[in-house]
Each structure stands twice: as structure tokens, then as C-alpha cells.
Amino acid sequence: MSGKALRRAAIAVLVPLAHAAAFAADEPVVRVGDLTLTGPQITAEFTWSPPALLHQVRRNDNAARMLAIEWYSNALIARAAVDDKILAEMAGLDLAGDTLRRKMIASRVLPRYVSQKFATDERELRQFMDMNEELCRAPARYRVARIGVVVGKKASEPERQGAKTRIEDVKKRLAAGESFATLADEKSDLASKMPGGEVGWLAGDEIERTEGHETITRLKKEEVSEIVETSEGLVVYKLLEREEPRKLTFEECRSTLDRVMSERYRAQIAREWVDELAKRYNASMNVDAFAAAVRAVELDPKWLEKQTVKDGGEAVEP
């Protein structure tokens, strides 16, 4: 039976459930052979699902129904895989399921464990701030507007000259005293967050990623730049406002301090717990042998071919 046919069969079975009255807490909601699950059991199973999935299911009836169908179809297939000896013919597939299960459990349990073992207080955060002053420095910020003329990558020479003429005309009109904001609204090809060609405040990584940032950071307030060539075309910038670097107050920096401190010390706690568990269970691993075993998995030739194309024709090692 094809996947679509199986889903249609699943829908046929699930239709009555959609119109049924509310189930009692101990009444089975799902039956697959000797497996029965009640409403509370299903709720418990999905408690640890990604919040985005749960939110989608709550707000969208179709999403809820499709999730139910997928779960039901998977349960049927998994049961048949055992009963019909299919799983026995696919060595390691059951262990792959265990791997996904272990990963999900660890991803939920570890944050809970470390949060119980580590909690910051104000005194510790202030000490951490004194030792890491760079975390609490706000970089310079630049409020910028721009006027730009787009020049396509494959533009002809006449098109390039036309774009240059347009932006030079804008510069002349600005020099004659016309409003930058008005000209931006009338002449700019570039999108802006606000009227007047304004792109908003840029700081830190944002300003570094902005083409022409060397020009922008040298401008004085209300100063207009020369024409700057960017990947989009030809641009003129205006610096509307500038805020100099400053030291943040403790309250302004508190969330950053807590996050960074938590990342550093919680990682240490996690490592210590893993070491402790390894001793408890007398566990060991040969990392090189494990890596070699994973690398020994044969890759699908069709996947390799597609990946080679995706990587621009470079050969992908099998």
C-alpha cells in the first residue's frame, strides 16, 4: 500500500474520532493491536514536543488532524515491521530509533539538571561584570538613511551610465539644498524601513555587515556621503544621528551577564555530570572506533550525485 493510500486508510479510521464525544480519562483513544493509549498518556507523550509544533496544533485544526494521522500511520507501520519480521531484515533500524529517543531525552533532561545545580544571584553577576567589562559595553550606533540606484549584475554599459547619471543628479540636488528625505522617497530604488530612505539604527555586527560602513562611520551628524558603489548599485548615505560607545548599567546588562555566565558554568556542570555518570555505569567509549563505524555507513549514490551538484560540481567523498 502506498503512503497516500495508507494515509487515506488512516483518515477513514480516524473520522469517527473527530465527531466523538469527549473521552473519559481511562478510555482508550488509540488501539493498535495490544497497544492502547488513553488521552492522558498521549498528552504526556507530546509534552516534550517542540513548542512550535504544539502551538501549530492548538491553532490549526488541519495541523492537529495531520499530526494524528501521521502518528497513527507510523504506529501501524512500526507494529507491522515487528510482526511481519520486516525490522529483523533491516539491521540496526531499531537501534536508530533508540538513538533518536536517547537524544530527545538528553536534550530535555540536561537543561533541567544543570538549572537545578546552577543559579546566579546579583552578587555573583556583579562580580562577573567586573571581570568581564567588555560584555557590558554598547558599541557606537548609527541612524542612517540612504538613496540608491540599482545596477544589475548583468547591466549593459549604457545602463550603468544611466544609473550613474541618476545618482549624480541626486547628489547635485542635495548640494543645492533639496531635502534628502524627499529625494529618497522620490528617487531611491532601495527598500527602507521608514519614509525618507531611513534604514534605522545600525550597531555592532549590523554596521560591519553594511556595505559602505567605512564611509558611514566617518560621517558627522547630518552629513551626506559621496557616492558609494555596492553590490546593489550606487548609494548615497546620510548620517541622521550617532551614539558613541558607552558602558551599560548593571540592569541594562543583567540579561547578557546571566546568559553568558550560565553558558560558561552550565557547560562545566554538564561535563562533570557526564563524567560522574560514566563512573557510575562503568562506561567507556573508543571515540576513534565509533567515528570509524559511523563513517563506514554507505551513502546513497543518488544522494551523493545530488550533493555534488549542490556543491557546485565538487566531488563529495563517499
**Percent of the chain scoring above 70 in pLDDT:** 90
For residue 261, pLDDT beyond 90: no
Counting other chains too, the contacts that 125-131 makes at CB distance below 8 Å and 24 or more residues apart are 125/250, 125/254, 125/257, 125/258, 125/261, 126/250, 128/257, 128/260, 128/261, 129/250, 129/253, 129/257
Model pTM? Answer: 0.55
pLDDT digits 0-9 by tens, 109-146: 888 888 888 878 899 899 999 999 999 999 999 999 99
pLDDT at residue 15 in the model: 44
Segment holding 79, helix H or strand E: helix 61-83
- Identify the residue with better confidence: 2 or 170: 170
Give me the chain's average pLDDT, please. 84
Q: How far is CA 300 from CA 3, 297, 312, 318, in A?
A: 21, 10, 19, 9
Q: How far is CA 274 from CA 92, 126, 181, 238, 256, in A?
A: 26, 30, 59, 55, 27
- Identify the residue with better confidence: 310 or 236: 236
Taking the C-alpha atoms of residue 266 and residue 110, their distance in angstroms, rounded to an integer, is 10
For residue 8, pLDDT beyond 70: no
**Domains by residue range for the chain, with CATH:** 3-90 (no CATH), 91-139+249-283 (no CATH), 143-244 (3.10.50.40), 285-318 (no CATH)
Backbone angles phi, psi at 95, to 5 degrees: -70, -30
